[in-house]
């Protein structure tokens, strides 16, 4: 018999929140302010804002520090927070998990200051049993550290959880943590980029239908 499902770990950006377009615009805004076209420069979803700028600083020979570029990016993002929506079916899925005594966990590459602010503004902070933020670990996705930290907080084993993600880096992190990794597909990635996921779903509604079969009562 498969181990009983004890927790579901949600990624935040792109998974719960339909916000990757806002982040793309935020990075683009910072680049344009420096006279750089963002046509061929894309941020990598899931690895963290500062980590993206560390990569782009080297590629583009930017004079500013990654921390300053990240701060400017986050300001644009937070200024546009009212445009961001929660993906349909998320609340229903959380209520279902609660009814089955399955823990609802969050693991996000956001630093705590930004992540907690966004959660409170979106009125979803109280939905999670525990939250794990990017500044709690040494390595961001695609390393497994973030998910392993979330698992360890609840004294669980990787085979007792399901990770829900949206990006290739998140899939890699979930699989590296030896956890089942399911994906909500967005238009940001092709199916070919998501093939390492155990399952791919168009919305949370389809995901919940399969999840019912995973829960051993």
Q: HEC string of the chain?
A: CCCCCCEEEECCECCCEECHHHHHHHHHHHHHCCCCCCCCCCCCCCCCHHHHHHHHHHHHCCCCCHHHHHHHHHHHHHHCHHHCEECCCHHHHHHHHHHCCCEEEEEECCCHHHHHHHHHHCCCHHHCCEEEEHHHCCCCCCCCHHHHHHHHHCCCCHHHEEEEECCHHHHHHHHHCCCEEEEECCCCCCHHHHCCCCEEECCHHHHHHHHHHHCCC
180-194 per-position pLDDT tens digit:
999 999 988 999 999
Entry pTM: 0.91
Domain 7-19+85-214, CATH: 3.40.50.1000
Mean local confidence (pLDDT), 142-147 = 97
Which of the four pLDDT bands, split at 50, 70 and 90, describes residue 38?
confident
């Amino acid at each position: 018999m498969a181990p009983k499902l004890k927790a579901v770990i949600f990624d935040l950006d792109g998974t719960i929140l339909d916000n990757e377009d806002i982040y793309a615009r935020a990075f683009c805004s910072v680049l344009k302010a420096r006279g750089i076209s963002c046509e061929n420069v894309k941020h990598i979803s899931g690895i963290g804002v500062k980590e993206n700028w560390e990569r782009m600083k080297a590629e583009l020979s930017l004079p500013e520090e990654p921390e300053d570029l990240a701060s400017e990016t986050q300001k644009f993002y937070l200024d546009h927070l009212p445009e961001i929506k929660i993906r349909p079916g998320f609340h229903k899925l959380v209520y279902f998990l609660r009814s089955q005594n399955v823990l609802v966990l969050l693991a996000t590459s956001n630093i705590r200051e930004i992540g907690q602010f966004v959660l409170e503004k979106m009125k979803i902070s109280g939905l999670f049993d525990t939250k794990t933020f990017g500044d709690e670990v040494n390595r961001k996705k695609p390393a497994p550290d973030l998910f392993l930290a979330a698992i360890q907080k609840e004294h669980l084993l990787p085979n007792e959880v399901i990770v829900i993600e949206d990006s290739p880096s998140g899939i890699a992190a979930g699989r590296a943590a030896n956890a089942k990794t399911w994906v909500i597909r967005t238009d940001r990635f092709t199916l070919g980029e998501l093939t390492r996921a155990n399952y791919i779903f168009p919305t949370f509604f389809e995901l919940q239908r399969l999840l019912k079969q995973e829960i051993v009562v």
